[in-house]
Amino acid sequence: MQFTLLLLALVATVLSANIHPEFLSFMTKYNKVYNNDVEFLKRMEIFKNNMALAAEWSHQGEAQFGATEFADMTPEEFAELYLMPNLPEYERPEVASYPEVAAGGSIDWRTKGAVTAVKNQGQCGSCWAFSATENLESVNFLATGQLVTLAPQQIVDCDSAWYGCSGGWPYGAFQYLISFGGQDTESSYPYKAVQGTCVANKANIGATISSYKSIGKSDGEIVNALNTAPLSVCVDASRWYLYQGGVIQASQCGKSIDHCVQLIGYNDDGAYWLLRNSWGTSWGENGLLRLQKSGQDTCAMNDAVTTAVH
């Protein structure tokens, strides 16, 4: 009996010595609870692997990567739940032209009241619906003076041409909204992070859309369009699950689009684009991130830029 107790104490001591202290801090910060010891040890090992990746990625550029709320998930698990790894080929809509803006400027549409609060898509690859929704919210505000929070759940449930929580392109969301006649308000059609039955109601429409346009791929063309309204952009976000802050350099991400967000500003002095994500405010820089702006097409941000037209 005494030998057994001593053995158990020894095992406990060895286990505690091998517990990653940063993992315990991570669990406390994000209220992580695991079903059993096997799951705990599995998630701790994944966390340790992610911290090694974060250190490697941080050394590749200015942005810092580390222990976010997603740090106990493998890259594959995260992509399956939050990204769109199997998008169909992008079909570029008609490209619009905008008045040229002088170099050396900046804009942040939050300061102009044109951006709603940061949203959270949850474990659903609905970022395309959020990106389209956020763009229409801003375009509607600039046309009407009313900042109405709209319903991405409507697109997830009702746009049968695309894949709900499994992804789509924002221009597909715009096509649906044009055919329906507009987008319901968030209050009338709350977000659920799962694809369900369509219950859109034209009596609850909060904003309308007449058409949509694509933006050219150069930094200058995007800046010209961004000075008229925040835009919908799609990116390679495969490393973003560990992003903590700073300007992500082209050397710190790839070029395979798997996520969509809203482009809300830029700063030529800091050489960055300002984007709003849909993973809540605890991620990144209070839900935002910055990408290098220097003609590098950082994270493929220049490749699929669109906007609704009121």
Q: What is d(CA 36, CA 44) in angstroms, rounded to the nearest whole number?
A: 12
Task: Determine which one of 124, 127, 260, 299 is catalytic.
Answer: 127
Give mean pLDDT, residues 84-89.
90
Q: What is d(CA 74, CA 252) in angstroms, rounded to the nearest whole number?
A: 18
Task: Determine which one of 135, 140, 224, 277 is catalytic.
Answer: 277
Give mean pLDDT, residues 109-114.
98
> Which pLDDT score is estimated for 12?
46
**Model confidence over 232-272: pLDDT tens digits?**
999 999 999 999 999 999 999 999 999 999 999 999 999 99
The CA–CA distances, whole Å, from 51 to 61, 98, 134, 292 equal 16, 43, 32, 23
Q: What is d(CA 141, CA 63) in angstroms, rounded to the nearest whole number?
A: 32
Nearby residues of 271 by Cβ (< 8 Å), 6 or more positions away = 247, 292, 293, 294
**Model confidence over 145-202: pLDDT tens digits?**
999 999 999 999 999 999 999 999 999 999 999 999 999 999 999 999 999 999 999 9
> Which pLDDT score is estimated for 289?
98
* pLDDT-derived band at 83, boundaries 50, 70, 90: very high
Give mean pLDDT, residues 115-124.
98
Tell me if residue 127 is catalytic: yes
Q: Helix (H, G, I), strand (E, B), or coil: what is residue 272?
A: strand
- Exposure on the CB side of residue 15, measured as CA atoms within 13 A: 11
pTM for this prediction: 0.93
Task: Determine which one of 124, 234, 253, 259 is catalytic.
Answer: 259
Token pair recorded at residue 238: 């495969």
> Which pLDDT score is estimated for 16?
52
Tell whether the model's pLDDT for residue 61 goes beyond 60.
Answer: yes
Tell me if residue 59 is catalytic: no
Domains and CATH numbers, the chain: 75-309 (3.90.70.10)
Alpha carbon 79 to chain centroid, angstroms: 12
- Count of C-beta atoms within a 10 Å radius of residue 56: 11
Tell me if residue 259 is catalytic: yes
